[in-house]
Amino acid sequence: MTAHILIVDDEPSIRETMREYLRLSGYETSVASSAEEALAAITACPMEVVITDIMLPGIDGLALTDQIKASWDVDVIVMTGYSQEYSYEEAISKGASDFVFKPVRFEELDLRLKRVLRERLLNQERLQMLDELKKLSITDGLTQLYNSRYFYSQLKGEIERFNRYGHKLSLLLLDIDNFKIYNDTFGHLEGDKILVRIGQIIRACLRKMDTAYRYGGEEFTIILPGTPGEEARTVAERLRTAVASETFSSAGNATVQITISVGVTQYCREEPVSGFVQRADQAMYESKQAGRNRVSC
Ligand code: GH3
Ligand code: MG
Ligand code: MG
Ligand code: MG
């Protein structure tokens, strides 16, 4: 992709010569004669690098650098004459990526520009990688729901919010019924496919605020912020029905019905995280005791 460079200088001949040089070097270019014009140009059009003179009428190049770095992910290279008292340190401390003396030697500017663009790319790759790592660290690899580590950190956060604002908070814990039999009959790989499909059904049943987690092997949790127990029960019932009415196909094309047992709890003030999860687990266990494929509170 061609980088877009904005040249800011109040001297038209400098602007235009630089623009021509950069255009011939293969860059997309724009020009501005003041900091105000430059800010308008950055607002109007995404760009990678601004090359700005320091001495400008109105806002100067250092203040412009400051403003750019505060609001945009744009690199800045500043230019200044040898006779002016502005220093390299000043420019860099405002967030400039590099500094060139005027009159500008284009070969030098081009080298500096290439280095800035290369570092930009590396930085973007680094950020992307961090983003992917972060996603991996909170995601369950099989179902692509969140994992249990993230469940506990999110639940703690929701409980803190509850204690501060008093919004209702509910939790669902669901467990696939007789899943061992399914695995023993069709094999572990077929069992995994069921887990993936159940994950999809859960996701489709959730409201915007709700988050779902693979809590353990064939157990899932759902955090429902701002939701009282009765409403959570309705969500649980909808989920239970969605799973029970789905026809799962297994290896050898046999069709199978799968059911889930669900426990629902509403958070009680000052209750520890573990107590809250235990009550959901207890409610789920009651669903099992009562014959499975049901919801208990
Ligand atoms: P219940 O109705 O009481 O929950 O019966 P169950 O058979 O589902 O419960 P149990 O706890 O006895 O067995 C859970 C089974 O879930 C055991 C294991 O075969 C299966 N399981 C757990 N994690 C995975 C997994 O990642 N993949 C597959 N395929 N199966 C799993
Ligand atoms: Mg000037
Ligand atoms: Mg289980
Ligand atoms: Mg089970």
Identify which ligand lies nearest to the alpha carbon of 288. 1
Q: SS3 of 25, please?
A: coil
Our answer on whether the CB atom of 176 is closer than 6 Å to any ligand 1 atom is yes
Q: How far apart are CA 150 and CA 140, in angstroms?
A: 10
- Residue 48: what pLDDT? 98
- Residue 76: what pLDDT? 98
Q: How far apart are CA 201 and CA 181, in angstroms?
A: 21
Q: How far apart are CA 7 and CA 31, in angstroms?
A: 5
Q: How far apart are CA 199 and CA 206, in angstroms?
A: 11
**Angle made by CA atoms 214, 204, 222, in degrees to the nearest 5:** 35
Nearest-CA residue for ligand 1 atom 11 is: 180
Our answer on whether the CB atom of 178 is closer than 6 Å to any ligand 1 atom is yes
What Rg do the C-alpha atoms of the chain give, in angstroms? 30
Q: How far apart are CA 44 and CA 263, in angstroms?
A: 53
The complex's ipTM?
0.96
Dist. CA 123 → ligand 4 center (Å): 46
- Residue 31: what pLDDT? 98
Active-site choice (20, 218, 270, 271): 218
pLDDT digit string (tens) for the chain, length 297 residues: 799 999 999 999 999 999 999 999 999 999 999 999 999 999 999 999 999 999 999 999 999 999 999 999 999 999 998 777 778 888 999 999 999 999 999 999 999 999 999 999 999 999 999 999 999 999 999 999 999 999 999 999 999 999 888 889 999 999 999 999 999 999 999 999 999 999 999 999 999 999 999 999 999 999 999 999 999 999 999 999 999 999 998 777 778 999 999 999 999 998 999 999 999 999 999 999 999 999 999
Q: How far apart are CA 230 and CA 232, in angstroms?
A: 5
Name, in order, each residue with C-beta under 8 angstroms of 184's C-beta and a sequence gap of 6 or more: none
Residue 218 annotated as catalytic: yes
Sequence-ordered alpha helix ranges (H) in the chain: 12-24, 35-44, 61-71, 88-93, 106-138, 148-165, 179-186, 188-205, 229-244, 273-289
Q: How far apart are CA 107 and CA 246, in angstroms?
A: 67
β-pairing, 260-266 vs 28-32, is unpaired
Q: What is the pTM of this model?
A: 0.81
